[in-house]
């Protein structure tokens, strides 16, 4: 590695370590110190960052490296909050930010303080070099992604749109390597499912527990939820999922190809899932075959001898690209039954960025061909949601690409929101160099 490349990687490592040591567990988030740390770093490189609070303690930071304006801006973005960690289940304390076995440990190491650190190191480097690119390069470090983006990207796009408007946005959702059928692939997220969180409610006559009722709200809701568990929602084909699975299949040995391709087929796919030996990978693929609905919260009654008049369940619904919120609600109601009322608590539509139409996608493809020649890049569809929801709503084309190279024993899916989150120090350095290469080529046009 060249001397200045090494300095860049070391800068990103140091920032990632400092960020991990700031506890931004959401709720309550408290991202302000993390936003201020990054702002100080950007200021010292000669940039003019702004820290904005969307609510007390909820810090968002935005900085811009000015270009000639010949091309529209590129945005690098990362959320600064993390999900909670149960220290008792970790081998090293979740906010230690120490290095053990070649890895930097801590909550946020891969989701996604690494991306915040890499982005800020890159902006600082380019500012110090005094480059004058064809595009502005923007960084947005945002609050509150883990709880639905309200105090972060959604707030920023609603209230400070001019600061973050861009042609392309690079954020989370891909950039890591995965193993499918024994082969390594790098993901670039080009689509993600929508969200529809729903409260399902059964009502009935209340009564004394000593005399059971046929129309008990608790029993009717339980039956409906059990049906949802055993039946699930209908399967659908999706062009994004077909492209993702088709790309994987095309790089596998001939006998496996048609089998893997069939995984995208809504009728045959479910039965074919057994070709994937890993139960985690099976679940991930199954979730791409339709809208999904996971019951997560149940609520009814508070006295053993009183039959309550209301029973409620909260359901985490996810909408397949190509499907709408109305499609999802109709399917959910078909399974739960018309006597269960549905109330939407929060919903955001699916996001699709058409990869083939974009110069940035081709550029990432080109860079990855050089930096990871043995692991083909595939257009990934994410089951979850990201800040893409906000930034695409104001016109950005989103690519989930927070590059990190993981050894086979470390799986992104296990560490993402899991115990013992960590990032290999050399995998972070590889990611920093890779992202820098993509950014340079993109802003130089
Ligand atoms: Zn994340």
- What average pLDDT does range 166-187 have in this prediction? 94
Please give the class, per CATH, of domain 3-176+359-366+379-444. alpha beta
Q: What is the pLDDT of residues 267-286, one digit of tens each?
A: 888 888 888 888 888 888 99
Q: What is the pLDDT of residues 383-404, one digit of tens each?
A: 999 999 999 999 999 999 999 9
Q: To the nearest whole number, what is the mean pLDDT of the chain?
A: 95
Closest by Cα among 404, 399, 349 to 375? 404
Q: How far does residue 60's CA lie from ligand 1's centre (Å)?
A: 15
Residues with CB under 5 A from ligand 1 (ion): 111-112, 172
Q: What is the pLDDT of residues 192-240, one digit of tens each?
A: 999 999 999 999 999 999 999 989 999 999 999 999 999 999 999 999 9
pLDDT for res 427: 98
Identify whether the C-beta of residue 170 lies closer than 8 Å to the C-beta of residue 250. Answer: no
Q: How far does residue 333's CA lie from ligand 1's centre (Å)?
A: 31
pLDDT for res 34: 98
Q: How far does residue 358's CA lie from ligand 1's centre (Å)?
A: 24
In whole angstroms, give the CA distance from residue 318 to residue 306: 35
Indicate the pLDDT class of residue 416, thresholds 50, 70 and 90.
confident
Is the pLDDT reported for residue 181 higher than 90? no
Q: How far does residue 434's CA lie from ligand 1's centre (Å)?
A: 20
Q: How far does residue 211's CA lie from ligand 1's centre (Å)?
A: 49
Q: Which CATH number fits domain 194-234+291-349: 1.50.40.10, 3.30.1120.10, 3.90.1580.10, 3.30.70.360?
A: 3.30.70.360
Spell out the domain ranges in the chain: 3-176+359-366+379-444, 194-234+291-349
pLDDT for res 94: 97
Q: How far does residue 196's CA lie from ligand 1's centre (Å)?
A: 18
Top pLDDT among 280 and 435 is at 435
pLDDT for res 63: 98
pTM for this predicted structure: 0.93
Q: How far does residue 112's CA lie from ligand 1's centre (Å)?
A: 5
Indicate the pLDDT class of residue 184, thresholds 50, 70 and 90.
very high
114: β partners:
none
Q: What b/e sequence results for 397-424 when a residue is b if at least 16 CB atoms lie within 10 Å of its CB, and e otherwise? A: bbbbbbbbbbeeebbbeebebbebbbbb
Indicate the pLDDT class of residue 180, thresholds 50, 70 and 90.
confident
Q: How far does residue 421's CA lie from ligand 1's centre (Å)?
A: 12
Q: What is the pLDDT of residues 53-103, one digit of tens each?
A: 999 999 999 999 999 999 999 999 999 999 999 999 999 999 999 999 999
Q: How far does residue 328's CA lie from ligand 1's centre (Å)?
A: 24
Sheet containing 310-319: order of strands:
292-300, 310-319, 194-203, 341-348
């Amino acid at each position: 590695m060249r001397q200045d490349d090494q300095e860049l990687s070391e800068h990103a490592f140091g920032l990632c370590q400092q960020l991990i040591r700031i506890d931004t567990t959401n709720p309550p988030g408290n991202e302000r110190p993390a936003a201020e740390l990054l702002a100080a770093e950007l200021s010292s490189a000669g940039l003019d960052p702004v820290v904005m609070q969307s609510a007390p303690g909820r810090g968002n930071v935005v900085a811009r490296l000015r270009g000639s304006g010949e091309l529209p801006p590129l945005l690098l973005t990362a959320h600064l909050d993390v999900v909670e960690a149960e220290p008792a289940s970790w081998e090293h304390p979740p906010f230690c930010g120490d290095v053990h076995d070649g890895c930097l440990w801590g909550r946020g190491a891969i989701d996604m303080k690494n991306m915040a650190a890499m982005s800020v190191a890159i902006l600082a480097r380019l500012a110090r070099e005094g480059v004058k690119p064809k595009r502005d390069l923007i960084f947005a470090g945002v609050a509150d992604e883990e709880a639905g983006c309200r105090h972060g990207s959604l707030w920023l796009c609603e209230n400070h749109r001019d600061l973050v408007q861009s042609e392309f946005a690079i954020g989370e959702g891909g950039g890591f390597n995965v193993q499918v059928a024994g082969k390594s692939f790098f993901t670039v997220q080009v689509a993600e499912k929508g969200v529809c969180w729903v409260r399902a409610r059964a009502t009935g006559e209340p009564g004394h527990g000593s005399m059971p009722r046929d129309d008990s709200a608790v029993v009717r809701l339980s039956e409906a939820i059990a049906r949802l568990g055993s039946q699930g929602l209908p399967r659908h084909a999706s062009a994004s999922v077909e492209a993702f699975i088709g790309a994987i299949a095309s790089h596998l040995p001939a006998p496996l190809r048609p089998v893997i391709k069939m995984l995208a087929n809504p009728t045959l796919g479910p039965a074919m899932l057994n070709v994937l030996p890993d139960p985690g990978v099976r679940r991930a693929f199954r979730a791409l075959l339709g809208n999904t609905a996971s019951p997560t919260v149940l609520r009814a009654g508070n006295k053993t001898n009183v039959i309550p008049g209301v029973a409620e369940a909260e359901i985490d619904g996810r909408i397949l690209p190509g499907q709408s919120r109305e499609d999802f609600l109709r399917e959910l109601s078909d399974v739960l039954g018309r006597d269960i009322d549905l109330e939407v608590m929060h919903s955001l539509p699916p996001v699709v960025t058409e990869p083939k139409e974009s110069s940035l996608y081709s550029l990432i493809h080109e860079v990855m061909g050089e930096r990871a020649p043995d692991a083909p890049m595939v257009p990934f569809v994410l089951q979850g949601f990201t800040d893409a929801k906000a930034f695409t709503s104001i016109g950005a084309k989103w690519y989930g690409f927070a590059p990190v190279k993981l050894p086979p024993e470390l799986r992104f899916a296990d560490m993402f929101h899991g115990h013992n989150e960590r990032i290999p120090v050399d995998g972070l350095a590889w990611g920093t160099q890779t992202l820098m290469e993509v950014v340079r080529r993109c802003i130089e046009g």
